[in-house]
Structure 1
């Protein structure tokens, strides 16, 4: 089984869901204690280093092989905030074996085509991270 972590970056938080891709192509949600990691102060070098350390510990503790991050728009009405781009860079520079950026359009298309619904055991705020993980794992 492959362990995939889906990430949605929102405000100053990275929101996680971990799925394990089974040999038959299906997915199992892996229960996790840490569902969010916050970047406390994006202007503080120590805070950024602490965020990266927490990400690396999370990846190691959960044996994550691939991280799939839901991309944010760089400009326009729905553009991501500055903190989300700092968090993305720290995750891309993490100890994960593979990091993929998954577009919202790809997530939406995959969800519609395959009629994907987030499992009940996930919190509502984790649904986008789940859909990102499942989409990225099948790219």
Structure 2
């Protein structure tokens, strides 16, 4: 079962995929939404994401939840991207709170895979905390 963890940052979808408790180093590590006000760019983003899901046989997606208000609130673009991800017809999507990821990290010794990029760590933790 291929499971994908996602962290949404600015206009980027940061990806980490795990199969049978093993990190898979894929060529695509992030997908960017160029301009959230242009319909063509939104379609391109959606299509790239759907192709990623299909090509990598992703069966479940976990997204690191962002705060809706306060100092660490997510931007409007990330909420738009989250909605687009949740609408995908190919697999189930679940939101995971930052608190539960942090709690998992405190209770476990995390060994990051060698090929995992530094910017992918939160996406990796998001999916790893759920398996």
1:86 to 2:80 alignment: yes
Q: Determine the structure 1 residue equivalent to 2:51.
A: 57
Which stretch shows the higher mean deviation, 115-124 or 63-72?
A: 115-124
Q: How many residues align?
A: 131
Q: How much is the aligned-residue C-alpha RMSD, in angstroms?
A: 1.0
Report the counterpart of residue 8 of structure 1 in structure 2: 7
Q: Deviation per CA, 1:3-27, whole angstroms, max 9, x where unpaired?
A: 1100000000000010013xxxxx1
**Distance in 2, Cα, partners of 1:94 & 1:57:** 11
Gaps of 5+ in 1: 22-26
> Where does structure 1 differ by over 2 angstroms across 4 or more consecutive aligned residues?
none
Instruction: After superposition, give the CA deviation of every residue in 1:54-74 in whole Å (9 maximum; x if it has no partner).
Output: 100000011000000000001
1:65 aligned counterpart, secondary structure: strand
The one-character-per-residue Cα deviations of 1:25-44 (angstroms, maximum 9, x if unpaired) are: xx101121110100011111
SS in 2 for 1:94: coil
- C-alpha distance in structure 2 between counterparts of 1:96 and 1:108, whole Å: 29
- TM-score w.r.t. the length of structure 2 is 0.95
